[in-house]
Amino acid sequence: MIKFVIDVERGIAAFGGEFYKDADALLLESGSVQEYLWGGNLHPWAVPPLIVFSSLINIRPAAGNGSMIVENPELRERLKSVMHRWIQLEW
């Protein structure tokens, strides 16, 4: 499993790190804004590869997301689009 954080506004991602906050901090240092950062897990060895949009950084009741899972289907699609741009796997 590979942890990731995606900036849906800038269309960039950070992969790896021991904690989500590592990738989160890297993107914030490069100019990202917290409200556009969402995290999850990539399981590239699964067949087909699996993306799970679950992370502590996703808990944002004020933004309408009350759990670790990204609840908005449109946002999940935006996240998948960024992921597919950066990771070339046979989905």
**What is each CA distance from 23 to 9, 14, 33, 83, in whole angstroms?**
16, 5, 13, 14
For residue 82, being part of any structural domain is answered with: yes
Rg (Cα) of the chain, in Å, rounded? 12
pLDDT digits (tens, 9 = 90+) for 58-83: 999 998 999 999 999 999 999 999 98
Q: Domain range holding 37?
A: 2-86
For residue 91, being part of any structural domain is answered with: no
For residue 63, being part of any structural domain is answered with: yes
For residue 67, being part of any structural domain is answered with: yes
Lowest-pLDDT choice from 20-29, 65-74, 80-89: 80-89
> Domain count of the chain?
1
